Amino acid sequence: MTSQVIVKSPIDQATLRPLLEAAMRTQLRVIETGIRRTERRLHDFERQYNMSSEEFYHRLTQDQIEETLDTIEWAGEYQTWLRLQQQYETLLGARIAD
């Protein structure tokens, strides 16, 4: 599926396009930083509990793991990581049409 967003501006396209492209690149870097930080936190939990985040989350959602402050935090970090990955892939595939 292809989506299209129309940006209306009093600024001409030759000026606006580079600004939008730079904003998209900056946002990609922000998301990448968030992914790296989240991955470090996930890795800490994985080492502490000797389990991958994917396995942990599956077991948590199947009520096989007790909810504690740690597991709630771990689940939040994993959900954040999933959301950041999705945002990154979405923005990485976006292009400014001519």
The residue count of the chain comes to 98
Q: What is the pLDDT of residue 3?
A: 85
Q: What is the pLDDT of residue 90?
A: 94
Q: What is the pLDDT of residue 1?
A: 75
| Tally of CA atoms within 13 A in the half-sphere of 63 that contains its CB | 0
Give the whole-angstrom CA distance, residue 43 versus residue 30. Answer: 20
Please check the confidence at residue 77 and state whether its pLDDT lies above 90: yes
Place of tokens 């959602």: 61
Q: What is the pLDDT of residue 54?
A: 98
Q: What is the pLDDT of residue 98?
A: 79
Helices (H), the chain: 13-49, 53-61, 69-92
What is the arithmetic mean of pLDDT over 16-33?
96
Burial 41-65 (b: 16+ CB within 10 A, else e): bbeebbeeeeeebeebbeebeeeeb
Give the whole-angstrom CA distance, residue 67 versus residue 61. Answer: 10
- The tens digit of pLDDT for each residue in 34-68 reads 999 999 999 999 999 999 999 999 999 999 999 99
Q: What is the pLDDT of residue 17?
A: 93
